[in-house]
Amino acid sequence: MLKILKNFRWQYWVLAVVMVAFIVLQVELDLALPEYMSEIIALITIPGSTMEQVWQAGFKMIGISFGSLLCTVVTSFIAARIAAGFGAILRKKIFDKVESFSLEEINKFSTASLITRCTNDVQQILMFITIGLRLLITAPIMAGGAIIKISGKSSELTTITMIGVAVIVVFVVILTLVVMPKFRAIQRLTDNLNNVTRENLTGIRVVRAYNAEGFEEQKFDEVNQKITKTHLFVNRVMSLMHPMMQIVMNGLSLSITWVGATLINANKLTLPVMMSFNMYSMQIVMSFMMLIMVFIFMPRASVSAKRINEVLDTPNSISNPQNPVSANDKKGVVEFKNVSFKYADADECMLKDISFVANKGETVAIIGSTGSGKSSLLSLIPRFYDVTEGQVMVNGIDVKEQNLADLRDKIGYVPQKAILFSGTIESNLRFGNENADKDLLQKAVDIAQATNIVQAKGFTGNVAQGGQNLSGGQKQRMSIARAIAKQPEIYLFDDSFSALDYKTDKLLRQALNKEVSDATKIIVAQRIGTIKNADKILVLDKGKIVGNGTHQQLLQNCEVYREIAQSQLSKEELENA
Site for other proteins in 34-53 (CB under 8 A): 36-37, 40-41, 43-45, 47, 49-51
Classify burial at 362, counting beta carbons within 10 Å of its beta carbon; exposed 0-12, middle 13-18, buried 19 or more.
middle
The C-alpha angle 150, 156, 158, rounded to 5 degrees, equals 35
CB of 465 to other proteins, least distance (A): 6
Name residue 336's beta-bridge partners: 356, 392
Closest CA to 280 of 148, 156, 414: 148
Around Cβ 450, how many Cβ atoms within 10 Å? 27
**Of 155 and 510, which CB lies nearer to other proteins in the complex structure?**
510
Does 395 sit near other proteins (CB under 8 A)? Answer: no
**Of 143 and 534, which CB lies nearer to other proteins in the complex structure?**
534
Question: What letter does residue 419 receive in the DSSP assignment?
Answer: -
Interactions with other proteins, residue window 140-199 (CB under 8 A)? 183, 190, 193-195, 197-199
**Of 231 and 337, which CB lies nearer to other proteins in the complex structure?**
231
Around Cβ 67, how many Cβ atoms within 10 Å? 16
Name residue 538's beta-bridge partners: 366, 548
**Candidate residues 35, 386, 409, 426; the one interacting with other proteins per rule CB under 8 A:** 409
Number of residues that bind other proteins (CB under 8 A): 163
**Of 292 and 393, which CB lies nearer to other proteins in the complex structure?**
292
Under 8 Å between Cβ of 66 and 26: no
Does 238 sit near other proteins (CB under 8 A)? Answer: yes
CA distances (Å), 355 to each of 318, 340, 346, in order? 23, 9, 22
Interaxial angle between packed helices 51-100 and 271-313, expressed in degrees from 0 to 180 and rounded to the nearest 10: 10
Stretch that binds other proteins, among 10-18, 141-149, 159-167, 569-577 (CB under 8 A): 569-577
Does 136 sit near other proteins (CB under 8 A)? Answer: no
CB of 349 to other proteins, least distance (A): 18
**Of 35 and 389, which CB lies nearer to other proteins in the complex structure?**
35
**Of 20 and 127, which CB lies nearer to other proteins in the complex structure?**
127
Does 337 sit near other proteins (CB under 8 A)? Answer: no
Closest CA to 540 of 345, 385, 346, 341: 341
Interactions with other proteins, residue window 297-316 (CB under 8 A)? 297
Stretch that binds other proteins, among 8-16, 149-157, 323-331, 507-515 (CB under 8 A): 507-515
Q: In degrees rounded to 5, what are phi and psi of residue 519?
A: -80, 150
Count CA within 13 A, CB hemisphere, residue 25. 18
Stretch that binds other proteins, among 82-90, 139-147, 155-163, 166-174 (CB under 8 A): 82-90
The amino acid at 347: D
Under 8 Å between Cβ of 539 and 545: yes
d(CA 527, CA 534): 12
CB of 416 to other proteins, least distance (A): 10
**Candidate residues 97, 149, 352, 408; the one interacting with other proteins per rule CB under 8 A:** 408
Under 8 Å between Cβ of 136 and 294: yes
**Candidate residues 145, 260, 332, 373; the one interacting with other proteins per rule CB under 8 A:** 260
Does 319 sit near other proteins (CB under 8 A)? Answer: no
Closest CA to 545 of 389, 397, 361, 377: 377
Does 286 sit near other proteins (CB under 8 A)? Answer: no
CA distances (Å), 385 to each of 38, 95, 309, 399, in order? 74, 20, 23, 11
**Candidate residues 24, 58, 302, 442; the one interacting with other proteins per rule CB under 8 A:** 58
**Of 219 and 330, which CB lies nearer to other proteins in the complex structure?**
219
d(CA 185, CA 179): 10
Does 442 sit near other proteins (CB under 8 A)? Answer: no
Does 517 sit near other proteins (CB under 8 A)? Answer: no
Does 491 sit near other proteins (CB under 8 A)? Answer: no
**Candidate residues 345, 347, 437, 501; the one interacting with other proteins per rule CB under 8 A:** 501
Question: What letter does residue 131 receive in the DSSP assignment?
Answer: I
**Of 401 and 409, which CB lies nearer to other proteins in the complex structure?**
409
Can you list the alpha helix ranges (DSSP code H) found in 101-133?
103-109, 111-116, 122-127
CB of 338 to other proteins, least distance (A): 25
**Candidate residues 211, 323, 435, 460; the one interacting with other proteins per rule CB under 8 A:** 211
